[in-house]
Chain A
Amino acid sequence: MGVKRVALLAVLLTILAILVVIFFRSGALEKIKPPAEAPPPVLEPSPSGPVQMRKIVLFFLSEADTLLHPEEREINASSSIVRQAKQAVEELIKGSDKGYISPFPPETKLRELFLTGDGVAYVDFSEEIVEKHLSGSSAEISTIFSVVNSLAYNFKTIQKVFILIEGQERETLGGHINLSRPFLPLYDLIAN
Protein backbone atom coordinates (compact mmCIF):
# COMPACT_ATOMS: atom_id res chain seq x y z
CA MET A 1 0.00 0.00 0.00
CA GLY A 2 2.87 2.30 0.99
CA VAL A 3 4.50 1.87 -2.44
CA LYS A 4 1.26 2.73 -4.21
CA ARG A 5 0.97 5.90 -2.17
CA VAL A 6 4.51 6.98 -2.98
CA ALA A 7 3.92 6.28 -6.67
CA LEU A 8 0.77 8.40 -6.66
CA LEU A 9 2.58 11.21 -4.90
CA ALA A 10 5.37 11.07 -7.46
CA VAL A 11 2.91 11.28 -10.34
CA LEU A 12 1.18 14.23 -8.75
CA LEU A 13 4.47 16.00 -8.16
CA THR A 14 5.54 15.40 -11.75
CA ILE A 15 2.27 16.83 -13.04
CA LEU A 16 2.66 19.82 -10.76
CA ALA A 17 6.22 20.38 -11.95
CA ILE A 18 5.12 20.26 -15.60
CA LEU A 19 2.32 22.73 -14.88
CA VAL A 20 4.71 25.08 -13.15
CA VAL A 21 7.13 24.97 -16.06
CA ILE A 22 4.34 25.61 -18.58
CA PHE A 23 3.00 28.49 -16.49
CA PHE A 24 6.28 30.30 -16.25
CA ARG A 25 7.37 29.66 -19.79
CA SER A 26 4.11 30.89 -21.28
CA GLY A 27 4.26 33.93 -19.06
CA ALA A 28 7.76 34.73 -20.18
CA LEU A 29 6.81 34.28 -23.79
CA GLU A 30 3.97 36.71 -23.58
CA LYS A 31 6.09 39.34 -21.96
CA ILE A 32 8.70 39.22 -24.63
CA LYS A 33 6.44 38.97 -27.60
CA PRO A 34 4.70 42.38 -28.06
CA PRO A 35 7.67 44.72 -28.20
CA ALA A 36 9.18 42.46 -30.79
CA GLU A 37 6.17 42.59 -33.06
CA ALA A 38 3.82 45.61 -32.57
CA PRO A 39 5.00 49.23 -33.18
CA PRO A 40 4.83 51.49 -30.12
CA PRO A 41 1.32 53.00 -30.17
CA VAL A 42 2.14 56.19 -28.23
CA LEU A 43 4.29 58.00 -30.76
CA GLU A 44 2.30 59.80 -33.45
CA PRO A 45 4.54 60.07 -36.48
CA SER A 46 5.35 56.65 -37.88
CA PRO A 47 9.07 56.31 -37.55
CA SER A 48 9.46 54.56 -40.86
CA GLY A 49 7.07 56.58 -43.11
CA PRO A 50 7.85 60.11 -44.39
CA VAL A 51 6.70 63.02 -42.15
CA GLN A 52 3.52 64.52 -43.57
CA MET A 53 3.65 68.29 -43.97
CA ARG A 54 0.83 70.74 -44.62
CA LYS A 55 0.66 74.35 -45.63
CA ILE A 56 -0.94 76.82 -43.27
CA VAL A 57 -1.42 80.57 -43.52
CA LEU A 58 -0.28 82.92 -40.76
CA PHE A 59 -1.34 86.54 -40.48
CA PHE A 60 1.16 89.31 -39.80
CA LEU A 61 1.11 93.10 -39.85
CA SER A 62 2.64 95.08 -42.65
CA GLU A 63 4.17 98.54 -42.64
CA ALA A 64 2.21 99.17 -45.86
CA ASP A 65 -1.29 99.33 -44.37
CA THR A 66 -3.38 98.57 -41.31
CA LEU A 67 -4.38 95.05 -42.42
CA LEU A 68 -3.19 91.56 -41.58
CA HIS A 69 -1.16 89.93 -44.34
CA PRO A 70 -1.01 86.19 -45.08
CA GLU A 71 2.25 84.25 -45.12
CA GLU A 72 2.50 80.51 -45.79
CA ARG A 73 4.24 78.05 -43.52
CA GLU A 74 4.79 74.31 -43.64
CA ILE A 75 4.06 72.46 -40.46
CA ASN A 76 4.11 68.82 -39.44
CA ALA A 77 0.64 67.54 -40.28
CA SER A 78 0.95 64.08 -38.77
CA SER A 79 0.60 65.40 -35.23
CA SER A 80 -2.66 66.23 -33.46
CA ILE A 81 -4.63 69.40 -34.20
CA VAL A 82 -3.55 70.82 -30.83
CA ARG A 83 0.13 70.22 -31.68
CA GLN A 84 -0.36 71.80 -35.11
CA ALA A 85 -2.14 74.83 -33.59
CA LYS A 86 0.76 75.21 -31.13
CA GLN A 87 3.21 75.20 -34.04
CA ALA A 88 1.14 77.89 -35.75
CA VAL A 89 1.17 80.19 -32.71
CA GLU A 90 4.88 79.59 -32.11
CA GLU A 91 5.61 80.50 -35.72
CA LEU A 92 3.55 83.68 -35.31
CA ILE A 93 5.59 84.74 -32.30
CA LYS A 94 8.86 83.78 -34.06
CA GLY A 95 7.94 86.23 -36.81
CA SER A 96 7.72 86.64 -40.55
CA ASP A 97 10.15 85.40 -43.20
CA LYS A 98 9.03 88.10 -45.60
CA GLY A 99 9.65 91.19 -43.52
CA TYR A 100 6.14 91.46 -42.13
CA ILE A 101 5.68 92.53 -38.50
CA SER A 102 4.86 90.04 -35.76
CA PRO A 103 2.41 91.78 -33.39
CA PHE A 104 3.84 90.17 -30.26
CA PRO A 105 6.49 91.25 -27.83
CA PRO A 106 9.42 89.02 -28.94
CA GLU A 107 9.83 87.69 -25.37
CA THR A 108 6.32 86.18 -25.44
CA LYS A 109 6.11 82.43 -25.00
CA LEU A 110 3.25 80.09 -25.69
CA ARG A 111 2.70 78.21 -22.44
CA GLU A 112 -0.15 75.94 -23.40
CA LEU A 113 -2.89 75.47 -25.92
CA PHE A 114 -5.95 73.34 -25.51
CA LEU A 115 -9.13 72.78 -27.40
CA THR A 116 -12.59 72.18 -25.98
CA GLY A 117 -15.30 70.06 -27.56
CA ASP A 118 -17.33 73.13 -28.53
CA GLY A 119 -14.60 74.55 -30.74
CA VAL A 120 -12.94 77.03 -28.39
CA ALA A 121 -9.14 77.08 -28.43
CA TYR A 122 -7.62 78.34 -25.16
CA VAL A 123 -4.26 79.90 -25.93
CA ASP A 124 -2.18 80.50 -22.84
CA PHE A 125 0.65 83.04 -23.18
CA SER A 126 3.43 83.99 -20.80
CA GLU A 127 3.27 87.24 -18.77
CA GLU A 128 5.48 89.06 -21.31
CA ILE A 129 2.56 89.42 -23.72
CA VAL A 130 1.09 91.87 -21.19
CA GLU A 131 4.23 93.23 -19.54
CA LYS A 132 6.04 94.14 -22.75
CA HIS A 133 2.98 94.99 -24.79
CA LEU A 134 2.68 98.36 -26.51
CA SER A 135 -0.85 98.52 -25.06
CA GLY A 136 -2.49 100.79 -27.58
CA SER A 137 -5.88 99.89 -29.02
CA SER A 138 -4.46 99.15 -32.46
CA ALA A 139 -1.60 97.12 -31.03
CA GLU A 140 -3.99 95.03 -28.91
CA ILE A 141 -6.34 94.41 -31.82
CA SER A 142 -3.39 93.31 -34.01
CA THR A 143 -2.08 90.86 -31.41
CA ILE A 144 -5.47 89.36 -30.70
CA PHE A 145 -6.66 88.94 -34.27
CA SER A 146 -3.31 87.73 -35.55
CA VAL A 147 -3.77 84.72 -33.23
CA VAL A 148 -7.52 84.36 -33.63
CA ASN A 149 -7.57 84.62 -37.42
CA SER A 150 -4.51 82.40 -37.89
CA LEU A 151 -6.04 79.62 -35.77
CA ALA A 152 -9.61 79.82 -37.06
CA TYR A 153 -8.50 80.11 -40.69
CA ASN A 154 -6.36 76.97 -40.66
CA PHE A 155 -8.17 74.65 -38.28
CA LYS A 156 -11.80 73.86 -38.91
CA THR A 157 -12.27 72.55 -35.38
CA ILE A 158 -11.33 75.97 -33.94
CA GLN A 159 -14.23 78.40 -34.11
CA LYS A 160 -13.36 80.75 -31.27
CA VAL A 161 -10.20 81.63 -29.40
CA PHE A 162 -9.93 82.49 -25.71
CA ILE A 163 -6.70 84.19 -24.69
CA LEU A 164 -5.22 83.36 -21.28
CA ILE A 165 -2.15 84.80 -19.59
CA GLU A 166 -0.12 82.61 -17.22
CA GLY A 167 -3.05 80.23 -17.13
CA GLN A 168 -5.45 82.92 -15.96
CA GLU A 169 -8.19 85.00 -17.49
CA ARG A 170 -7.12 88.66 -17.83
CA GLU A 171 -9.34 91.71 -18.38
CA THR A 172 -7.27 93.21 -21.22
CA LEU A 173 -3.73 93.13 -22.65
CA GLY A 174 -3.19 96.83 -21.94
CA GLY A 175 -6.43 98.47 -20.85
CA HIS A 176 -8.52 98.32 -24.02
CA ILE A 177 -9.89 95.19 -25.67
CA ASN A 178 -11.97 92.81 -23.57
CA LEU A 179 -10.29 89.41 -23.10
CA SER A 180 -12.92 87.94 -20.79
CA ARG A 181 -14.70 86.11 -23.57
CA PRO A 182 -13.68 84.10 -26.63
CA PHE A 183 -13.11 85.86 -29.96
CA LEU A 184 -14.60 84.94 -33.29
CA PRO A 185 -12.26 85.53 -36.24
CA LEU A 186 -12.52 88.92 -37.98
CA TYR A 187 -11.63 88.28 -41.59
CA ASP A 188 -12.35 91.92 -42.49
CA LEU A 189 -8.94 92.69 -41.01
CA ILE A 190 -7.18 90.54 -43.61
CA ALA A 191 -5.70 91.98 -46.80
CA ASN A 192 -6.79 89.93 -49.82
Chain B
Amino acid sequence: MVNISTDVPFRIQRGAFESRIIKSFGWSKGKDFYILAIRTKVRNFSYDYFTLSDPPKLVIDFSQIDEEKSETPDSLKQKEASRGKVPQPSTASPSSRAQTGSSSLQGMKTIVIDPGHGGLEPGARGRFGTLEKNVALEIGLKLRSVIERNFPSRVVLTRDKDLNVSLENRAALANNNKADFFISIHANSSFRKDAHGSETYFLSRDATDEEARKLAFLENNPAEFGEGITGKSEDEIQMILWDMAQSAYLKQSSLLAESIQKELNLLLRTSNRGVKQAPFTVLAGVACPAVLVEVAFISNPREERSLTREGFQINVAQAIYRGLVNYIKLYSQK
Protein backbone atom coordinates (compact mmCIF):
# COMPACT_ATOMS: atom_id res chain seq x y z
CA MET B 1 0.00 0.00 0.00
CA VAL B 2 1.31 3.40 -0.97
CA ASN B 3 0.16 6.41 1.01
CA ILE B 4 0.42 9.77 -0.66
CA SER B 5 -0.97 12.94 0.80
CA THR B 6 -1.46 16.02 -1.27
CA ASP B 7 -3.16 19.38 -1.01
CA VAL B 8 -3.49 19.55 -4.76
CA PRO B 9 -6.91 18.77 -6.15
CA PHE B 10 -6.52 16.03 -8.67
CA ARG B 11 -8.39 13.69 -10.93
CA ILE B 12 -7.74 10.28 -12.23
CA GLN B 13 -7.90 10.00 -15.96
CA ARG B 14 -8.11 6.93 -18.04
CA GLY B 15 -6.43 6.88 -21.41
CA ALA B 16 -5.98 4.04 -23.83
CA PHE B 17 -2.95 2.00 -22.93
CA GLU B 18 -1.09 -1.02 -24.14
CA SER B 19 0.90 -2.97 -21.62
CA ARG B 20 2.47 -6.34 -21.07
CA ILE B 21 2.11 -6.00 -17.30
CA ILE B 22 -1.04 -4.01 -16.61
CA LYS B 23 -4.28 -5.66 -17.50
CA SER B 24 -6.64 -3.01 -16.17
CA PHE B 25 -7.03 -0.52 -13.38
CA GLY B 26 -9.82 1.06 -11.42
CA TRP B 27 -10.30 3.29 -8.43
CA SER B 28 -12.62 3.97 -5.62
CA LYS B 29 -13.09 7.20 -3.78
CA GLY B 30 -13.44 7.71 -0.04
CA LYS B 31 -14.17 11.00 1.64
CA ASP B 32 -10.54 12.06 1.70
CA PHE B 33 -8.69 9.28 -0.04
CA TYR B 34 -8.63 7.19 -3.16
CA ILE B 35 -7.80 3.56 -3.61
CA LEU B 36 -6.31 2.63 -6.91
CA ALA B 37 -6.50 -1.03 -7.85
CA ILE B 38 -4.29 -2.33 -10.60
CA ARG B 39 -4.78 -5.73 -12.11
CA THR B 40 -1.68 -7.23 -13.63
CA LYS B 41 -1.20 -9.89 -16.30
CA VAL B 42 1.89 -11.31 -14.65
CA ARG B 43 2.92 -12.17 -11.14
CA ASN B 44 6.57 -11.26 -11.21
CA PHE B 45 6.91 -7.55 -11.46
CA SER B 46 8.23 -4.72 -9.35
CA TYR B 47 7.16 -1.11 -9.12
CA ASP B 48 8.53 2.21 -8.09
CA TYR B 49 6.77 5.55 -7.78
CA PHE B 50 7.69 9.21 -7.77
CA THR B 51 5.98 12.55 -8.10
CA LEU B 52 6.58 15.33 -10.59
CA SER B 53 5.66 18.94 -10.17
CA ASP B 54 4.31 21.44 -12.67
CA PRO B 55 1.92 19.95 -13.35
CA PRO B 56 1.96 17.71 -10.28
CA LYS B 57 1.85 14.12 -11.36
CA LEU B 58 2.20 10.77 -9.72
CA VAL B 59 4.11 8.23 -11.78
CA ILE B 60 4.23 4.57 -10.96
CA ASP B 61 6.75 2.55 -12.95
CA PHE B 62 6.17 -1.14 -13.36
CA SER B 63 8.85 -3.47 -14.60
CA GLN B 64 8.77 -7.16 -15.18
CA ILE B 65 11.42 -9.19 -13.38
CA ASP B 66 12.96 -12.61 -13.97
CA GLU B 67 12.44 -12.33 -17.67
CA GLU B 68 15.42 -12.94 -19.93
CA LYS B 69 14.35 -10.32 -22.43
CA SER B 70 13.45 -6.72 -21.97
CA GLU B 71 12.73 -4.82 -18.73
CA THR B 72 10.91 -2.01 -20.38
CA PRO B 73 9.46 0.39 -17.82
CA ASP B 74 5.78 0.70 -18.17
CA SER B 75 4.63 4.09 -17.06
CA LEU B 76 1.15 4.63 -15.93
CA LYS B 77 -0.22 8.06 -15.40
CA GLN B 78 -2.48 7.95 -12.41
CA LYS B 79 -3.12 11.19 -10.81
CA GLU B 80 -2.96 14.33 -12.78
CA ALA B 81 -3.35 17.72 -11.27
CA SER B 82 -6.18 19.69 -12.71
CA ARG B 83 -6.77 22.81 -10.71
CA GLY B 84 -10.27 23.95 -11.42
CA LYS B 85 -10.57 21.87 -14.51
CA VAL B 86 -13.74 19.88 -14.88
CA PRO B 87 -13.03 16.25 -15.63
CA GLN B 88 -14.04 15.12 -19.06
CA PRO B 89 -17.16 13.04 -18.90
CA SER B 90 -15.58 10.27 -20.94
CA THR B 91 -12.82 9.68 -18.43
CA ALA B 92 -14.89 9.11 -15.36
CA SER B 93 -18.14 7.58 -14.28
CA PRO B 94 -21.18 9.13 -15.92
CA SER B 95 -22.65 9.74 -12.49
CA SER B 96 -22.29 13.43 -11.81
CA ARG B 97 -22.10 13.08 -8.05
CA ALA B 98 -18.77 11.31 -8.31
CA GLN B 99 -17.30 14.45 -9.80
CA THR B 100 -19.08 17.34 -8.22
CA GLY B 101 -21.16 15.91 -5.39
CA SER B 102 -18.65 16.19 -2.58
CA SER B 103 -19.15 19.42 -0.70
CA SER B 104 -15.66 19.19 0.76
CA LEU B 105 -14.26 19.84 -2.69
CA GLN B 106 -15.62 23.35 -2.54
CA GLY B 107 -14.54 23.73 1.09
CA MET B 108 -18.18 23.90 2.24
CA LYS B 109 -18.89 21.48 5.01
CA THR B 110 -22.29 19.93 5.55
CA ILE B 111 -23.09 19.84 9.25
CA VAL B 112 -26.04 17.79 10.42
CA ILE B 113 -27.45 18.77 13.81
CA ASP B 114 -29.62 16.20 15.52
CA PRO B 115 -31.78 17.46 18.38
CA GLY B 116 -32.50 14.27 20.35
CA HIS B 117 -35.99 12.73 20.78
CA GLY B 118 -39.13 14.68 19.78
CA GLY B 119 -42.84 14.23 19.28
CA LEU B 120 -44.30 11.36 21.27
CA GLU B 121 -40.87 10.46 22.53
CA PRO B 122 -39.94 13.10 25.14
CA GLY B 123 -36.66 11.57 26.35
CA ALA B 124 -35.70 12.24 29.96
CA ARG B 125 -37.89 14.38 32.22
CA GLY B 126 -36.73 16.70 34.97
CA ARG B 127 -38.33 17.08 38.38
CA PHE B 128 -39.85 20.43 37.37
CA GLY B 129 -41.23 18.89 34.20
CA THR B 130 -38.53 19.97 31.74
CA LEU B 131 -38.38 17.59 28.79
CA GLU B 132 -35.16 16.52 27.13
CA LYS B 133 -36.71 16.85 23.64
CA ASN B 134 -37.46 20.56 24.17
CA VAL B 135 -34.05 21.43 25.56
CA ALA B 136 -32.34 19.54 22.73
CA LEU B 137 -34.41 21.36 20.10
CA GLU B 138 -33.75 24.79 21.63
CA ILE B 139 -30.00 24.15 21.69
CA GLY B 140 -30.07 22.64 18.18
CA LEU B 141 -31.80 25.71 16.72
CA LYS B 142 -29.36 28.03 18.50
CA LEU B 143 -26.43 25.98 17.25
CA ARG B 144 -27.74 26.30 13.69
CA SER B 145 -27.94 30.10 13.92
CA VAL B 146 -24.50 30.47 15.44
CA ILE B 147 -22.94 28.26 12.75
CA GLU B 148 -24.82 29.99 9.93
CA ARG B 149 -23.85 33.43 11.21
CA ASN B 150 -20.17 32.65 11.56
CA PHE B 151 -19.07 29.80 9.39
CA PRO B 152 -19.72 29.25 5.68
CA SER B 153 -21.32 25.83 5.60
CA ARG B 154 -24.51 23.96 4.96
CA VAL B 155 -26.47 23.16 8.12
CA VAL B 156 -29.17 20.50 8.14
CA LEU B 157 -31.38 19.70 11.13
CA THR B 158 -32.87 16.24 11.63
CA ARG B 159 -35.88 18.06 13.09
CA ASP B 160 -36.60 21.76 13.57
CA LYS B 161 -39.83 21.32 15.46
CA ASP B 162 -41.44 18.94 17.93
CA LEU B 163 -41.55 15.90 15.65
CA ASN B 164 -41.19 12.15 15.86
CA VAL B 165 -38.13 11.15 13.87
CA SER B 166 -36.85 7.58 14.10
CA LEU B 167 -33.21 7.01 14.94
CA GLU B 168 -32.81 5.27 11.61
CA ASN B 169 -34.16 8.27 9.69
CA ARG B 170 -31.87 10.69 11.51
CA ALA B 171 -28.83 8.73 10.37
CA ALA B 172 -30.28 8.33 6.87
CA LEU B 173 -30.83 12.08 6.63
CA ALA B 174 -27.17 12.67 7.46
CA ASN B 175 -26.04 10.11 4.91
CA ASN B 176 -28.35 11.36 2.18
CA ASN B 177 -27.06 14.89 2.72
CA LYS B 178 -23.49 13.63 2.57
CA ALA B 179 -22.82 15.04 6.01
CA ASP B 180 -19.26 15.93 6.92
CA PHE B 181 -20.17 16.07 10.59
CA PHE B 182 -23.03 14.75 12.67
CA ILE B 183 -23.74 16.30 16.06
CA SER B 184 -26.51 14.88 18.21
CA ILE B 185 -27.73 16.96 21.16
CA HIS B 186 -29.14 15.43 24.34
CA ALA B 187 -29.61 16.18 28.03
CA ASN B 188 -28.59 13.48 30.45
CA SER B 189 -30.41 11.65 33.23
CA SER B 190 -29.26 9.30 35.97
CA PHE B 191 -30.61 7.19 38.83
CA ARG B 192 -28.12 9.08 41.00
CA LYS B 193 -29.72 12.25 42.36
CA ASP B 194 -26.42 14.06 42.43
CA ALA B 195 -25.23 13.21 38.91
CA HIS B 196 -24.13 16.38 37.11
CA GLY B 197 -21.84 17.65 34.39
CA SER B 198 -21.43 17.43 30.64
CA GLU B 199 -19.95 14.69 28.52
CA THR B 200 -19.42 13.96 24.83
CA TYR B 201 -19.79 10.53 23.31
CA PHE B 202 -18.65 8.84 20.15
CA LEU B 203 -19.46 5.36 18.97
CA SER B 204 -17.78 2.32 20.46
CA ARG B 205 -16.57 -0.04 17.80
CA ASP B 206 -18.56 -3.19 17.39
CA ALA B 207 -18.96 -5.63 14.55
CA THR B 208 -22.73 -5.19 14.33
CA ASP B 209 -22.62 -1.42 14.33
CA GLU B 210 -20.01 -1.57 11.64
CA GLU B 211 -22.30 -3.54 9.41
CA ALA B 212 -24.82 -0.67 9.38
CA ARG B 213 -22.14 1.94 8.84
CA LYS B 214 -20.55 -0.12 6.10
CA LEU B 215 -23.80 -0.25 4.17
CA ALA B 216 -24.31 3.49 4.55
CA PHE B 217 -20.75 4.15 3.49
CA LEU B 218 -20.91 1.95 0.42
CA GLU B 219 -24.16 3.56 -0.65
CA ASN B 220 -22.57 6.99 -0.49
CA ASN B 221 -19.22 6.11 -1.93
CA PRO B 222 -19.92 4.12 -5.06
CA ALA B 223 -16.67 2.79 -6.37
CA GLU B 224 -15.63 3.38 -9.93
CA PHE B 225 -13.98 0.37 -11.37
CA GLY B 226 -12.10 -0.18 -14.56
CA GLU B 227 -12.81 -3.13 -16.82
CA GLY B 228 -11.40 -6.33 -15.48
CA ILE B 229 -11.95 -5.35 -11.86
CA THR B 230 -15.19 -7.00 -10.96
CA GLY B 231 -16.75 -9.45 -8.58
CA LYS B 232 -14.35 -10.63 -5.93
CA SER B 233 -11.76 -7.89 -6.40
CA GLU B 234 -14.50 -5.29 -6.23
CA ASP B 235 -15.65 -6.68 -2.88
CA GLU B 236 -12.10 -6.77 -1.58
CA ILE B 237 -11.45 -3.17 -2.56
CA GLN B 238 -14.71 -2.07 -0.97
CA MET B 239 -13.77 -3.86 2.24
CA ILE B 240 -10.38 -2.12 2.32
CA LEU B 241 -12.06 1.21 1.61
CA TRP B 242 -14.59 0.60 4.33
CA ASP B 243 -11.96 -0.37 6.87
CA MET B 244 -9.94 2.74 6.15
CA ALA B 245 -12.98 4.96 6.33
CA GLN B 246 -14.22 3.35 9.54
CA SER B 247 -10.93 3.79 11.36
CA ALA B 248 -10.71 7.34 10.06
CA TYR B 249 -14.28 8.19 11.23
CA LEU B 250 -13.65 6.86 14.70
CA LYS B 251 -10.38 8.73 15.03
CA GLN B 252 -12.01 11.91 13.72
CA SER B 253 -15.05 11.42 15.95
CA SER B 254 -12.85 11.10 19.02
CA LEU B 255 -10.91 14.28 18.13
CA LEU B 256 -14.13 16.17 17.44
CA ALA B 257 -15.56 14.95 20.76
CA GLU B 258 -12.40 16.11 22.59
CA SER B 259 -12.59 19.49 20.89
CA ILE B 260 -16.26 20.02 21.79
CA GLN B 261 -15.83 18.72 25.34
CA LYS B 262 -12.99 21.18 25.92
CA GLU B 263 -15.21 24.12 24.95
CA LEU B 264 -18.12 22.85 27.06
CA ASN B 265 -15.81 22.78 30.08
CA LEU B 266 -14.60 26.30 29.38
CA LEU B 267 -17.94 27.92 28.65
CA LEU B 268 -20.52 26.15 30.75
CA ARG B 269 -18.77 25.70 34.05
CA THR B 270 -20.50 22.33 34.32
CA SER B 271 -18.22 19.61 35.64
CA ASN B 272 -16.19 17.71 33.11
CA ARG B 273 -17.36 14.12 32.67
CA GLY B 274 -15.05 13.71 29.72
CA VAL B 275 -15.21 11.99 26.36
CA LYS B 276 -16.73 8.51 26.35
CA GLN B 277 -17.64 5.74 23.98
CA ALA B 278 -20.93 3.85 23.89
CA PRO B 279 -23.04 2.00 21.30
CA PHE B 280 -25.59 4.72 20.51
CA THR B 281 -28.11 3.61 17.92
CA VAL B 282 -28.21 6.99 16.19
CA LEU B 283 -24.42 7.19 15.81
CA ALA B 284 -24.10 3.65 14.51
CA GLY B 285 -25.86 4.44 11.25
CA VAL B 286 -23.97 7.59 10.34
CA ALA B 287 -21.17 7.39 7.76
CA CYS B 288 -19.10 10.39 8.85
CA PRO B 289 -17.45 11.68 12.04
CA ALA B 290 -20.28 11.71 14.57
CA VAL B 291 -20.62 12.73 18.21
CA LEU B 292 -23.37 12.92 20.78
CA VAL B 293 -23.26 15.73 23.34
CA GLU B 294 -24.89 15.13 26.72
CA VAL B 295 -25.38 18.64 28.03
CA ALA B 296 -25.84 18.53 31.81
CA PHE B 297 -28.32 16.36 33.76
CA ILE B 298 -32.00 17.10 33.50
CA SER B 299 -32.42 14.72 36.47
CA ASN B 300 -30.45 17.14 38.65
CA PRO B 301 -32.75 20.01 39.71
CA ARG B 302 -29.95 22.58 39.69
CA GLU B 303 -28.85 21.62 36.16
CA GLU B 304 -32.45 21.25 35.02
CA ARG B 305 -32.94 24.93 35.79
CA SER B 306 -29.77 25.82 33.87
CA LEU B 307 -30.92 23.82 30.87
CA THR B 308 -34.14 25.84 30.59
CA ARG B 309 -32.32 29.20 30.68
CA GLU B 310 -31.79 30.84 27.33
CA GLY B 311 -28.37 32.18 28.31
CA PHE B 312 -27.19 28.68 29.16
CA GLN B 313 -28.56 27.27 25.90
CA ILE B 314 -26.73 29.97 23.93
CA ASN B 315 -23.52 29.09 25.76
CA VAL B 316 -23.99 25.42 24.90
CA ALA B 317 -24.52 26.29 21.23
CA GLN B 318 -21.48 28.56 21.32
CA ALA B 319 -19.33 25.86 22.94
CA ILE B 320 -20.33 23.19 20.40
CA TYR B 321 -19.77 25.65 17.58
CA ARG B 322 -16.28 26.57 18.83
CA GLY B 323 -15.37 22.95 19.35
CA LEU B 324 -16.47 22.09 15.82
CA VAL B 325 -14.73 25.02 14.15
CA ASN B 326 -11.52 24.43 16.13
CA TYR B 327 -11.61 20.85 14.97
CA ILE B 328 -12.18 21.83 11.34
CA LYS B 329 -9.35 24.36 11.44
CA LEU B 330 -6.96 21.90 13.06
CA TYR B 331 -7.69 18.70 11.22
CA SER B 332 -10.16 19.06 8.47
CA GLN B 333 -9.32 22.07 6.32
CA LYS B 334 -6.82 21.55 3.58
A77 beta carbon closer than 8 Å to chain B: no
Q: Which residues of A contact B125 (CB under 8 A)?
A: 134
**Nearest-neighbor residue (CB-CB) of B117 within chain A:** A175
Of the listed stretches A18-26, A40-48, A51-59, A176-184, chain B binds A176-184
Q: Which residues of B contact A63 (CB under 8 A)?
A: 192-194
Classify chain A's interface size: 20 to 34
C-alpha gap A172/B170 in the complex (Å): 15
Q: Which residues of B contact A139 (CB under 8 A)?
A: 124, 189-191, 299
- State the interface size on chain B (CB cutoff 8 A): 33
Give A38 Cβ to nearest chain B Cβ, in Å: 49
C-alpha gap A138/B201 in the complex (Å): 11
Q: Which of A62, A134, A172, A178 contacts B124 (CB 8 A)?
A: A134
Q: SS class of chain A's interface: helix, strand, loop or mixed?
A: loop
Beyond A134-B299, A175-B123, is A101–B187 a contact (Cβ under 8 Å)? no
Give B290 Cβ to nearest chain A Cβ, in Å: 14
Docked-complex contact B188 and A136, CB < 8 angstroms: yes
Q: Which residues of B contact A134 (CB under 8 A)?
A: 124-125, 189-191, 299
C-alpha gap A102/B208 in the complex (Å): 29
A108 beta carbon closer than 8 Å to chain B: no
Beyond A136-B187, A136-B299, A138-B294, is A177–B280 a contact (Cβ under 8 Å)? yes
Beyond A174-B123, A175-B117, A175-B123, is A136–B281 a contact (Cβ under 8 Å)? no
Q: List 25 A-B contacts (CB under 8 A).
A: A61-B191, A61-B192, A66-B192, A102-B191, A103-B191, A134-B190, A134-B299, A136-B124, A136-B132, A136-B190, A138-B188, A138-B189, A138-B294, A138-B297, A139-B124, A139-B299, A142-B190, A171-B281, A175-B117, A175-B121, A175-B123, A175-B167, A176-B280, A180-B281, A181-B209
Interface residues of B (CB under 8 A from A): 116-117, 121, 123-125, 132, 167, 186-195, 201, 206, 208-209, 273, 278-281, 284, 292, 294, 297-299
Interface residues of A (CB under 8 A from B): 61-63, 66, 101-103, 134-139, 141-142, 171-172, 174-178, 180-181
